[in-house]
Amino acid sequence: MTLPRTEIDKLARREGSAAELFYGSELSPGVASSLDHLPPNLFPQIGGSIYPVFRQSLFDPDNPVFIFLGVGANGGVRLAPGWFLEGTAVASLWNDFNQIKRATNSVLPHVRSDVANYLREETIGLENVSTSYFFKLAPEISGRVEAGYLEQMFAGVGGELLYRPFGRRWAIGVDLWTVRQRGYDVLLDLRNYQAITGHLTLYYELPWHDVRVAVSAGQYLAGDKGVTFQFSRRFSTGVEIGAWFTLTNVSAARFGEGSFDKGIRLVIPFEWVAPFATRSGYDLSLRSIQRDGGQRLLGDAMLYGLTDASSYGALTQEWNSVFR
């Protein structure tokens, strides 16, 4: 971004406006850089944090709310530009998940419906231990590859690419993963179930009320194929509210209770209550019942969110609040 000095001076003297500064500035996409200019002694970079963990299991017919209170720790090493080694561990301080008695009756591979087993048996769990590499193929094409224990229930290897043209409301991404189910104790054990999952996703920012739409088509963890529709709106406060539903080639009878996967999502930024600046937040997804149809790998497509803060849409949305 190139800002004209004359417009900045006008803004400082309160003779101009943020809109005048925007339309007088020159915006262009970033360049794909290898970051070779960074000094070698800058790496490795090490960081980490410890934080409280609160989880809940809702809508069980035997008990509407089960609670987990614990402590989490994450750590990471940036080994080189774009190359990270990261891990997250969670320890339970108190929970009543051992009182969950309901067992799954799913006829599909149990890719998510065994969640009660994970909740009961995880006392000290390695939520993820993985290495990832982020790169750019072109100024508007981002990519990443990742391998390791990817999430609470699955380990594997895969990656994604995102094409996000500068100054456009749309973007398109593709991801592909081969994964294996993890043991219920969320340590290093692996179970026998393996799967290949991946999706092609089209993102679009509607010109009204900061509403976004994402449509993903591909193969899910249970081997079913179909389409997921996602809708979300992010408010100026940082709060995001969304909903999704997934339709696959699994019939309502085989899917079981609920007929198809659907739910709502709420993201609340921690900066409201934290005594320091942070981009983290409380991310809550609510569905009436956890089944196995239409289930995706957690974190399978994250490049759109990672590039969002520097996107053209985010810039135009936040411009007035920055240059007041």
Residue 322 in this model has a pLDDT that exceeds 90? no
| Residue 103's pLDDT band (cuts 50, 70, 90) | confident
Whole-number Å distance between alpha carbons of 9 and 280: 35
C-alpha pair distances (Å), 37 with each of 33, 34, 41, 79, 144: 9, 8, 12, 16, 21
| Strand-pair category, 225-234 with 240-248 | antiparallel
E strands in the chain: 45-60, 63-80, 83-95, 124-138, 141-149, 154-163, 170-182, 190-205, 211-219, 225-234, 240-248, 262-269, 281-286
| Residue 324's pLDDT band (cuts 50, 70, 90) | low
Residues forming a β-bridge with 50: 73
Looking at every residue in the chain, the average pLDDT score rounds to: 89
The pLDDT, as a whole number, for residue 237 is 80
Q: SS3 helix, strand, coil % of the chain, rounded to 5?
A: 15, 50, 35
What is the mean pLDDT of the segment spanning 264-271? 87
Residue 224 in this model has a pLDDT that exceeds 80? yes
How many CA atoms within 13 Å lie on the side-chain side of 4?
15
Residue 21 in this model has a pLDDT that exceeds 90? no
Retrieve residue 191's tokens.
């179970």
Q: Decide yes or no: CATH 2.40.160 for domain 39-322.
A: yes
Q: In the chain, where are the structural domains located?
A: 1-31, 39-322
The pLDDT, as a whole number, for residue 164 is 94
Residues forming a β-bridge with 226: 218, 248
Name the least confident of 192-196, 200-204, 212-216, 257-261. 257-261
Which residue is listed with tokens 């759109």?
A: 304
Name the least confident of 2-16, 24-38, 192-206, 298-312. 24-38
Give tens-digit pLDDT for 275-292: 666 777 788 888 878 899
Name the least confident of 171-185, 220-234, 298-312. 298-312
The pLDDT, as a whole number, for residue 314 is 75
- Contacts (Cβ under 8 Å, ≥6 apart) of 236: 321
Strand, helix or coil at 296?
Answer: coil
Residue 232 in this model has a pLDDT that exceeds 90? yes
Residue 158 in this model has a pLDDT that exceeds 80? yes
Give tens-digit pLDDT for 120-149: 899 999 999 999 999 989 888 999 999 999
